[in-house]
Amino acid sequence: MGLWVELVSPERRLFAGEAEVVIARGSEGEVGVLPGHAPMLISLAYGPLTLRQPGGREVRALVHGGFLEVRRDRVRILADAAELVEEIPLEEARRELAEAERRALEEGSAEARAALHRALIRARLAGA
């Protein structure tokens, strides 16, 4: 028996189904969840989320913060915002990356560098 996983954002439910492994970026580092995992609640950082399903299929998403809860073989991901990787528009991600690079060079602020980091992750996940 695998894990029952639900990924939701305020806008919609992005995924509900079975997975063998959940890999997420927590605020303290990467975490992996397998069936039989101890109960836990972690804060999520901006980053990729991977759900490996039976048969080897992967569902990948970009999560913009939130929480991941494990209880019995159920994983609930309540994201502040999230998007499925397959739905990220490649050209939009490239434009955002170029703009973030420009801002980081011009401003050099911590905020501009953080925006560049987020844009780079999104563009890489989109396939840029």
Q: How confident is the model over 80-111, as pLDDT tens digits?
A: 999 999 999 999 999 999 999 999 999 989 99
Written as one letter, the residue type at 126 is A
Non-local CB neighbours of 43 within 8 Å, separated by 6+ positions: 26, 27, 65, 66, 67
53-70 pLDDT, tens digit per residue, is 999 999 999 999 999 999
> CA distances (Å), 76 to each of 13, 42, 44, in order?
11, 11, 12
- Contact by Cβ (8 Å): 39, 111: no
Q: What's the whole-model pTM score?
A: 0.89
